[in-house]
Amino acid sequence: MRSVRLRGSLALLVAAFIWGTTFVAQSVGMEGIGPFTYGAARYVVAVPVVFLLWLFFAPKRRAAKAAGTYRPGFKAGALVGVILFLGTTSQQVGMQYTTVGKTAFITCLYLVLVPLAAVFFGSRIRPLHWGGAVLALSGLYLLSMKDGFSLSYGDAIMVGSSLLWTMHILCVGRFASFVDAVELSLAQLFVCACASLALAFLFEQPTVAGIEGAATAILYAGIMSSGVAFTLQIVGQQYAEPALAAVIMSLESVFGALSGAILLGESMSAAELSGCALMLAGMLLAQLAGVWGMKRPRTEGENGTN
Nearest to 162 by CA among 116, 223, 119: 116
What distance in Å separates the CA atoms of residue 38 and residue 34, rounded to the nearest whole number? Answer: 6
What distance in Å separates the CA atoms of residue 86 and residue 39, rounded to the nearest whole number? Answer: 11
Residue 40 near residue 265 (C-beta atoms within 8 A): no
What distance in Å separates the CA atoms of residue 171 and residue 302, rounded to the nearest whole number? Answer: 23
Q: Along the 306 residues of the chain, how does pLDDT read in single tens digits?
A: 667 777 888 888 899 899 889 888 888 888 889 999 999 999 999 999 889 989 998 999 999 999 999 999 999 999 999 999 999 899 888 888 877 777 877 877 777 777 777 666 666 667 776 777 777 777 767 766 655 555 678 888 888 888 898 888 888 878 877 899 889 989 999 999 999 999 999 999 899 999 999 999 999 988 998 778 877 877 787 777 666 676 677 778 778 878 888 888 877 777 777 877 887 787 777 666 655 554 434 433 333 333
Task: Give me the pLDDT at residue 143, please.
Answer: 65
- For 288-294, the CB contacts below 8 A with 24+ separation are 288/128, 288/132, 288/243, 289/115, 289/126, 289/127, 289/128, 289/129, 289/132, 289/243, 290/115, 290/242, 290/243, 290/246, 291/241, 291/243, 291/244, 291/247, 292/126, 292/128, 293/124, 293/126, 294/241, 294/243
What distance in Å separates the CA atoms of residue 117 and residue 115, rounded to the nearest whole number? Answer: 6
Task: Give me the pLDDT at residue 306, please.
Answer: 36
Residue 243 near residue 54 (C-beta atoms within 8 A): no
What distance in Å separates the CA atoms of residue 300 and residue 70, rounded to the nearest whole number? Answer: 20
What distance in Å separates the CA atoms of residue 132 and residue 141, rounded to the nearest whole number? Answer: 14
Task: Give me the pLDDT at residue 40, please.
Answer: 93
